[in-house]
Amino acid sequence: MDLKDLIPIPDLLEAKDVLVIFPHPDDAELTAGGTVALLTAKGARVSYCSATDGSMGCFDPAMTREKVAAIRREEQVKAAETLGVKDIHWLGFTDGFLPDIETVRRKIVAVIRKVKPDFIITLDPWLTYEAHPDHRKTAMAAVEAAMYAPFPLAYPEDIREGQEPHAVSGIAFAVSSHPNTVVDITETWERKIAACLCHKSQFPEHVWNSVYAPVLMAKSREIGQRIGAAFGEDFKVMTMSHLHIFADAWRV
Ligand SMILES: [Zn+2]
CA 135 to ligand 1 centroid distance, Å: 6
CA 75 to ligand 1 centroid distance, Å: 14
Q: What confidence score (pLDDT) does residue 118 get?
A: 98
Q: Which segments in the chain show pLDDT lower than 50? A: none
Q: What confidence score (pLDDT) does residue 67 get?
A: 97
Q: What confidence score (pLDDT) does residue 124 get?
A: 98
CA 224 to ligand 1 centroid distance, Å: 23
CA 138 to ligand 1 centroid distance, Å: 10
Q: What confidence score (pLDDT) does residue 128 get?
A: 95
CA 78 to ligand 1 centroid distance, Å: 17
User: Which among 233, 136, 120, 126 has a CA at the least distance from the CA of 171?
Assistant: 120
CA 207 to ligand 1 centroid distance, Å: 17
CA 189 to ligand 1 centroid distance, Å: 20
* Distance between CA atoms of residues 87 and 85, nearest Å: 6
* Distance between CA atoms of residues 92 and 69, nearest Å: 10
Mind listing the domains of the chain with CATH numbers? 15-242 (3.40.50.10320)
CA 23 to ligand 1 centroid distance, Å: 5
Q: What confidence score (pLDDT) does residue 234 get?
A: 98
2's CB contacts (< 8 A; 6+ apart) are 248, 251, 252
* Distance between CA atoms of residues 226 and 39, nearest Å: 21
The three-class DSSP label of residue 83 is: coil
Above pLDDT 70, what percent of the chain?
100
CA 56 to ligand 1 centroid distance, Å: 10
Q: What confidence score (pLDDT) does residue 222 get?
A: 98
* Distance between CA atoms of residues 190 and 222, nearest Å: 17
Pairing mode of beta strands 119-123, 170-174: parallel
CA 13 to ligand 1 centroid distance, Å: 24
Q: What confidence score (pLDDT) does residue 1 get?
A: 82
- Amino acid sitting at position 100: D
CA 26 to ligand 1 centroid distance, Å: 7
CA 24 to ligand 1 centroid distance, Å: 5
Asked if 141 contacts 22 with a C-beta cutoff of 8 angstroms, the reply is no
Q: What confidence score (pLDDT) does residue 61 get?
A: 94
At residue 235's C-alpha, the angle toward residues 217 and 231, to 5°, is 25
